[in-house]
Structure 1
Amino acid sequence: MFRHSIRTLLVGVCALAVASQTGPALALAAPAGAPAQARAARAVGAQTLADLNTAMKGEAFAHASYNLYGTQADREGHPSAGRLFRSTARTELNEHLREAAALAGVVGTNAANLRQAVNGETYEHQVMYRGFAAQARQDGDMKAAELFTEIAADEGRHRDAFRTALTVVTTGHGTVPAPPQANEVAVPAGLPQVHAARTRANLDTAMHGEALAYAKYTLFAAHARQTGNTALARLWEGTAAVELHEHFAGEAVLAGLVRSTRENLRKAITGERAEATTVYPGFARQAAAAGDTAAASFFRGTAADEARHAAAFQAALNRLR
């Protein structure tokens, strides 16, 4: 999670809290008209809420990255390492991120979820990706400029679909748009295909955002199904697939995210240890000091899990030698 780029996680929280996203079957009861994040802000302190958002971004990124690392391990003939990466990815998404999302009040009504997504997609379409594309062109990273431009257009289409769905949900008239189809991108091991430090940083920010979008949209899809809106659930699920398998994957190729299994294990160990010894214990202390006892307990438990993950990855690395 934070393992790959703690700095970018912290930088990207504001950009992505706004952005559209989903994850598995987490359904939080939400009174009509009460935005979940606003209720969470009343339930926990501002710093705790910020730390929960940072945690979600890290867990989502770990889930997306570890699945790619698992595929690379399979390619190299290391099936046990592949299984370890994938099982850890499931824990990061289905346990850690979902628990943090519940504490942060991420999931609200279908209308509130759509408004959150519209805001995020609008920011990515109009500001973030267009800005990243312009900077990449200035720095001579034309592949990145082209990808950022394509994704900006996609996010505009996502925004428009969510706006239409919001009208359907709030008025009861019309049809929820059909889900988009992801053009899945394979991510082989390789070095970065960009040269500018600014482009690399922007790719990292973008990947964290797309990973979080996938996680949140999956959560929103589960809520839509639980409320009987299967058409909306399909829209969330299809958009989530685009964010992960097309956008995140395309950015991962340019960023050189995936390396050899040995390198991927070392990177995972470093990140898991940082979370276990520094990041989550620090969050727990801050939450406890603010009186946010449930969040403090979550952070402490997650720190313990990450220590176990680090040990498991270290054992897997030892077996490769």
Structure 2
Amino acid sequence: MFNFRNLACALAGAALLANAPAALAADYPSRPIRVIVPYAAGGSTDQLARVVAQPMSEALGQPVVIENRPGAGGTIGVDAVVRADPDGYTLLFGNTGPNAVVGLMRKVSYDPLTDLQPISTVANVPMILAVPAGSKAKTLQDFVAEAKSRGSAVNFGSVGVGSLSHLTGEYFNMLAGTSMTHIPYNGGAPMVTAFVTGELDAAFVTGLDGAAFVSSGKVRYLAVGTPEATAVLPGMPAIADSVPGFRSIAWFGVLGPKGMPQEVVDKLQRVVADAVARPETQRIFSERNVEAKSSTPQELTRIIEGEIEQWKPVVRDARIEM
């Protein structure tokens, strides 16, 4: 005989399971949230994460705790988030490197487009062409002319093989028709210090890395990697003015594991956007030559897709491996 009691229990159980994500979202968050930064404490990614963590904590009513998981170009931290429960209590403060380009240069344990849930960007950081203060190149046009005439005798530094500063230099070579030699360093500080000792002719840096050296008069900026002039660096010409089509901008943002309840994603997106829009956040970012900018999850997905498409031929043609 058909057991209507068992059927009723099964239907009730199914209803509870179906409503579980909604119930989770309604109570979210009920405990501290962990934000994994895939780099060491004190670096540029860590700095930006901590600026937005405080207003996020205030809005959510729970501590937002930064946890640094450095190593393997940021992929160790990303992998930890990919493997976490998709309940909104483990998030990633990601960026261009491990979330778009590292996987083009070596095998990684995750797919940046299918294993993570984008939530919102936090900032855009343009790459900047910098030269030593004593360089003969006073303008971007001067630099391009010198680089073409001297060929591989002109070098450029980066914060490491496969970094965005490395890829940007190779991208410049491709579009400008130059053949600068790449010299990798172990991080931003030793690279920028190399300017002072005369080891480098140029480098592509962020304002976060180079600000102290520029203010000290030891380094000069020539042009910025945004498609056109930007308020982040007032009066600075765009590299694209002399090298058509050039664009190099790092992004920073918040992501989570795939499978998070949509209500939680939506709530976090609103909270991140509000944190980014705060005047204090805008001020701090502006002082660091950073554009505070939020996005929708869909916009961040398109950004990552676009970066993979942009940097794939650069990695291939320059034969970059990590």
Same-fold call, TM cutoff 0.5: no
Q: What TM-score results when the alignment is normalised by the length of structure 2?
A: 0.23
- Considering fraction of residues, name the structure with more helix: 1
Select the structure that is richer in strand.
2
